[in-house]
Structure 1
Amino acid sequence: MGFLSATGGTLIGTILPFLVVLTVVVFVHELGHFWVARRTGVAVSVFSIGFGPELLGWNDRKGTRWKLSAIPLGGYVRFIDDADAASRPDGERSQVDGAFQSKGLAARAAVVAAGPAANFLFAIAVLAALFYAFGKPMIAPVAGSVEPDSPAAAAGFAPGDRILSIDGNPIESFADIQRIVMLRNGVSLAIDVDRAGSRLTLHATPRAREIVDGFGEKQIVPVLGLRQTNPTVELRSFGPFGALREAVHETWSIVDSTLSSVAGMFSGRTSTAQISGPIGIARVSGQVAALGLIPLVNLAAILSISIGLINLFPIPMLDGGHLAFYAIEALRGRPLPERAQEIGYGIGFAIVLGLMAFGVLNDIAKIASG
C-alpha cells in the first residue's frame, strides 16, 4: 500500500505537472507553425501532441488530423509533402496542391520561424500578465554576510553592501547577481557597491564550487561568496505597458543567459552538468508545482523561452536547421542537393539524441548524488 501511495504521489506531484507544462508549451510551438502555414496556403495533414500511436483525434473541415499520441514528450505539425515528423521533404509530393516545398523561400522560412516566435510571444504574454496582476518580487541585492576565504572576502566585501552594478550592468535584485556571476567563472568583475551611502568599486573573480539550490539539487556553479541573511523582498508593481516592457526584458535576459551559458560550455568556463533532460525538468516541475499555480505558470513561460531558443539552434531536424538550409538556398539560388540534406538530417538526429542522452545521464547522476 505504501508503494502504491508513493507511486501515486510521484505521478500527481511530479509527472503530471511536467506533462501539463510541456503539453502547453509544445502546443503553443506547433500552433505557431500551423497558424502561419494555413495563412500561406500550406496544407497541414497532421497536428500531433506527442509521438507514437494515436490515442484520440479528429479531422477538421480542411482535412487536418488533430491528435493526441501515446508518447507525450513533444509534438509536430506534418505538412502534406513531409516525409516524416521531422519535416524532411518528400520529393514525390512536392508539387501537389498546398505542398510546403512549392512555396517561396520567404513563406517557408516564415512557417518554420513561427514555432519559436510563438514560444517567445507566449512567454512574454504570460510574464506580462503575472507582472501586471501580482507585481515582480525581487530580493534586494544586499550582502547579508560574506563567506570566509571566498572571492567576495578577498575583494573586501562587507555585510550590508548593496550591489549597484557589475561590469556596468545595473543590478536590481540578487538574481541579477547570480545570473551574471554564474557565467563569469574565473573572470575578474568590477562591482560597484553602496556602503553606508558611499559608492566604491571592488574587484572579485568568481570561483566554481558545489552548492545546493533551493530545490535541494547539487550544482557546480561559479560563486562570489555573498550570502542572503534575512533577505529583503521588494515588490515592484507595473502598469500594463510597464509589465509588457519588463516581460520583454525578462525574456531577453533568459535568452542572453542561456546563450552565454552555452558559449561558456564550449569554452570550458561553464559546467556541462547544468544540462538537464526530461527527468530533471520533471523533478523541477513537481517541485515548482508544490509552491503553487503561479510559480508553475512562471515555469511554463521560462520553459517556453528555452524551447523556442533551442529550436533556433542551427541543427538539422530543429527549426534552426531548416532555416540554415534556407539561408544556404538563398545564397546558392537553389536548394541543397537532396543527398546533402539527408546527411544533414542524420547528423542532426545524432546530435539531438546525444544531447538527450547526456541530459538524462546528468539527471541520474544528480539523483544518485542526492
Structure 2
Amino acid sequence: MSDFLYYLAAFAVVIGVLVVVHEYGHYAVARLCGVKVLRFSVGFGRAIWLRRFGADQTEWAIGLFPLGGYVKMLDEREAPVAAHELHRAFNRQSVWRRIAIVAAGPLANFLLAIVVYWGVFWHGTEELRPVLGTPPAATAAAAAGVENGERVVKVAGEAVQTWEDVRWRLLQLASDDNDALLEVINERHEIAVRRLDLAAIREAGWEGDAFQRLGLTYFRPQLPPVIGRVLGGSAGERAGLQAGDVFLEIEGEKIATWADVVRIVRAAPGKSLQVLLVRGESELALTAVPDLQEERGRRLGRLGISVQETGQRRDDLTVVVAYGPVDAFGRALHETWEKSVFSLVMLGKMVTGEVSWRNLSGPVTIADYAGQSAKLGIEYYLKFMALVSISLGVLNLLPIPILDGGHLMYYVVEIIKRGPLSERSMEIGQQIGLALLLMLMAFAFYNDINRLISG
C-alpha cells in the first residue's frame, strides 16, 4: 500500500505540474491579448474546489477528474456577451492572436522541459558509464562480439559518456538504420569496433526493452560472494547471516561469484534455501527464506543483504555529467528538440504500422515510471517530468480537431481562404477529433491493463 501511495503521489505531482503549466500558457497569452478568462480549471467535471480572484473574478477550480484541464474564455459561440465586453471575446480576436493563445499551451510544455533540463544539466547528475556485460547467447550483441567489461566510447561516430547516451543514440539509429558501429575499449585499453544489428528492435514493433532485445547488459564485476551488510529485520538477519560470511553453496549449487547468489535468491521468493557458508575459519549450514518482493509485476526473492565492497573504483563505473550555465542551456535546447522530433517520428511509424500500437502508454504506465524515477532521485524524476512534458506538447500539436493542433489547423485554413470555417465544418471536425481521441485513450488503457496482467 505504501508503494502504491508513493507512486500515486509521484504521478499526481507530474500531471498536476504539466497541466498547470500547459493551461497557464493559454491563460497568460490570452490575458496579454486582452481576452477575458472566465475559468482556469485543473481537471474536468464538477469542481471540488473553486475560488474567484482578480478584477475579472476569474474562477480558479480543481475538477473531479484530474487528467487534464482547460481555460474557459469569453466567447460569443458559447454564451451571449455584453456589448461593452465584445472586444474581449476570444472569437473577436484576429486570427494571429488566436493562434498565439492556442499555441501557448504546448509551447509552455516545451519551455518547461527546457528549463528542467537546463537545471539538471547545470546541477549535474551521477550517471552510469556505458560499460557492457557479457551478452546472452544468440543475441545481436553476442553476434557482434561484445565482451564483459568493454566500455562504449562512440556510437556511429558520436562520442557517448553514459549508459543513457548509448540507449538514446541506438534508439535514434534504429528508426532509420539497420546496424550501428560501437567503438569500445576493454579493460586492457584495447580499442575495437562492434557492428550491432538493430533489426531486433524493429522486428518486435519497438515493444519491450530495446537493450534487452539487442542483448546489451550492464557490466557485472566478478565480485566474490562475501556479505558486506545485512539489513535489520530482513530475511537474511532472520536466517542468521552476518557481514563477512562467505557463500560456498546454496541448495547444493557451488557459488563462485556474488552474481550466483543474486540469481538463486531472486528466483526463490518464499522458498527455504539450504545455505553452506564460511564464517571465520568454520563452515556453517543455515536455512534462509527470501522475502517476496514485487518488481514491475514480477515476483522476486530478497534476503536484504549486500555484497562486500571491493577494490573496484566507483569512478570506473560512474561519471558526473555537468555543464556550465551556457552549455547547459544549449544542451537543454538540443535535448528538447531531439526528443520532440523522435516523438513525432514514432507517432508517424505507429500510423504506418512500423511501430506497434502496444507502445502507447496510459496513466497507469506513466504512474509506474513516475514512481520508479522518483525512487532513483530528484534528478531522474525531473528528467522524467521533462520527457512527459515534451510528449504532452507534441501530442497537443497534432492536427486532430479538439486538440490545440486541430484549432491551429482551422486557423491556417482560415488564413488561406481568408475567412473562418463554417460552424458545421468545425462541428464535424470536433466529432471526428473526439472519436480519434477516445480511440487513443482506449488503446492506452488497454495497453496499461495488458501490462499489469502480463507483467
Question: What is the TM-score with the length of structure 2 in the denominator?
Answer: 0.70
Q: For 2:71, which of 57, 77, 102 is the aligned residue? A: 77
Determine which structure has greater relative contact order: mean sequence separation of CA pairs < 8 Å that are 6+ residues apart, divided by chain length.
1
Alignment of 1:85-104 (within 5 A): 89-90=77-78, 96-104=86-94
Q: For 1:150, which of 139, 143, 157 is the aligned residue? A: 139
Identity %: 36
Alignment of 1:170-319 (within 5 A): 170-182=159-171, 184=174, 187-195=177-185, 196-198=189-191, 200=193, 202=195, 204-208=197-201, 219=208, 221=210, 223-230=213-220, 232-319=317-404
- The residue aligned with 2:108 is 118
289-298 or 338-347, larger mean C-alpha shift: 289-298
CA shift, 1:91, in A, is: 8.3
Unaligned runs of 5+ in 1: 1-5, 83-88, 212-217
- The residue aligned with 1:67 is 61
The verdict on how the C-alpha distance between 1:186 and 1:158 changes in structure 2, with shifts beyond 3 A counting, is farther
Letter in 1 for 2:43: G
Find the aligned partners of 1:190 and 1:366 in 2 and give their Cα distance. Answer: 30
Are positions 1:340 and 2:329 aligned together?
A: no
- The residue aligned with 1:128 is 118
SS in 1 for 2:208: strand
Q: For 1:37, which of 30, 39, 46 is the aligned residue? A: 30
Find the structure with the greater CA-based Rg: 2
Are positions 1:28 and 2:15 aligned together?
A: no
The verdict on how the C-alpha distance between 1:318 and 1:209 changes in structure 2, with shifts beyond 3 A counting, is closer
SS in 2 for 1:227: coil
Unaligned runs of 5+ in 2: 221-315
Matched-pair contact (CA < 8 Å) for 2:145–2:194 = no
CA shift, 1:347, in A, is: 0.7
Find the aligned partners of 2:395 and 2:82 in 1 and give their Cα distance. Answer: 28
The verdict on how the C-alpha distance between 1:346 and 1:282 changes in structure 2, with shifts beyond 3 A counting, is same
- The residue aligned with 2:266 is none
- The residue aligned with 1:3 is none
Find the aligned partners of 1:203 and 1:236 in 2 and give their Cα distance. Answer: 26
Find the aligned partners of 2:177 and 2:353 in 1 and give their Cα distance. Answer: 12
CA RMSD after TM alignment: 2.8
63-72 or 219-228, larger mean C-alpha shift: 219-228
Find the aligned partners of 2:4 and 2:147 in 1 and give their Cα distance. Answer: 46
Matched-pair contact (CA < 8 Å) for 2:14–2:385 = yes
Report the number of matched residues. 350
CA shift, 1:118, in A, is: 0.8
The verdict on how the C-alpha distance between 1:260 and 1:367 changes in structure 2, with shifts beyond 3 A counting, is same
- The residue aligned with 1:140 is 129
CA shift, 1:168, in A, is: 5.0
CA shift, 1:35, in A, is: 0.4
340-349 or 55-64, larger mean C-alpha shift: 55-64
SS in 2 for 1:219: coil
17-26 or 194-203, larger mean C-alpha shift: 194-203
SS in 2 for 1:263: helix
SS in 1 for 2:323: coil
Find the aligned partners of 1:94 and 1:369 in 2 and give their Cα distance. Answer: 57
- The residue aligned with 1:215 is none
